[in-house]
Amino acid sequence: MPKLYPGYRDEIRKKIVSEAFTVFLAKGFEKTTMDDIAARLGVTKPAIYRYYKNKEELFIAAGAEAMVEEFKQVFTTSFSSGDLITGAGLFFDGHVVIHQKYAAVAKDIESIISRDRSLHDGVAGIHEEGQEFMLQFFREQKRLGTIRSPLSEIDLSVLCSALMHGLMGAVSSGMDPAEAKRLWLLGFARFADVRTGKKK
C-alpha cells in the first residue's frame, strides 16, 4: 500500500475502503476491529484514522460504496443490449442478488445510523451517486426517443428507485419475487412510457 501522503488521498481512501470491506464481509461488523483492518492494509491504525474517525464511519463508507458500485455495474450490464423492458427485467434480477448479498450490511448500516445520525450524510451522498447514475441513463434514453414519458429524468429516476426499494422490502417480507418482478416491469413501463423495439 502506498504511504499515506496527502497527494494520494483519494487513491488511499479507495484502498482503505476496499480492503476494509473485505474484512467486514469475512468477519462481520461487530467482530471486525480496526487492528484487523490495519493489518490487512499493512499500516498502523493512526494512518486509517486520518481518513475515517472510527470503525462505524469506515464501515458505512465501505458498505455503501460497495453496494452502489455493484448497483452501477448491474445496471449498465442489464441495459447494455436488447430492449428496455428486457433490460429492466435483468436489472430486477440483478438487484435481487445485490439485495440478498448485502442484506446484513444494510441492516448494520441502518443500526449504526440510528445510533449516530451524524453519519447519515455519508450514506445519503453515496445514494445520491446511484441516483445520478440512473438520472443520466433516463436523460440519454429520452434524447434517443426510447422513452416518451412526460416526466422529467429526475422524476423517473426517483420513482423507479422508490419502486425498486419498496419491492425489495416486500420480497424480504415474503412476497413472491416473480410477482415483485411483474410489478416492477409494469411500473417501469408505465413510468417511462417505453417504446417497443431495441434500445438504441
Tens digit of each residue's pLDDT (9 = 90 or more) over 16-71: 999 999 999 888 899 999 999 999 999 999 999 999 999 999 998 888 888 888 88
Which pLDDT score is estimated for 122? 62
Q: Which class for 134: exposed (0-12), middle (13-18), buried (19 or more C-beta within 10 A)?
A: buried
Asked if 1-52 and 63-192 have one fold, the answer is no
pTM score: 0.79
Which pLDDT score is estimated for 84? 92
Which pLDDT score is estimated for 125? 66
Positions in the chain short of pLDDT 70: 1-7, 119, 121-126, 195-200
- Chain CA centroid to CA 148, Å: 27
> For residue 145, how many other CB atoms are within 10 A of its CB?
9
> For residue 43, how many other CB atoms are within 10 A of its CB?
19
Sign of the Cα pseudo-torsion (41, 46, 51, 56, in order): positive
The domains of the chain are located at: 1-52, 63-192
Which pLDDT score is estimated for 184? 97
Does domain 1-52 bear CATH number 1.10.10.10? no
Does domain 63-192 bear CATH number 1.10.357.10? yes
Helix (H, G, I), strand (E, B) or coil at 194: strand
How far apart CA 59 and CA 65 sit, in angstroms, is 10
Of the candidates 63, 45, 59, 51, the residue with the CA atom closest to the CA atom of residue 116: 59
Beta bridge partner(s), residue 194: 147
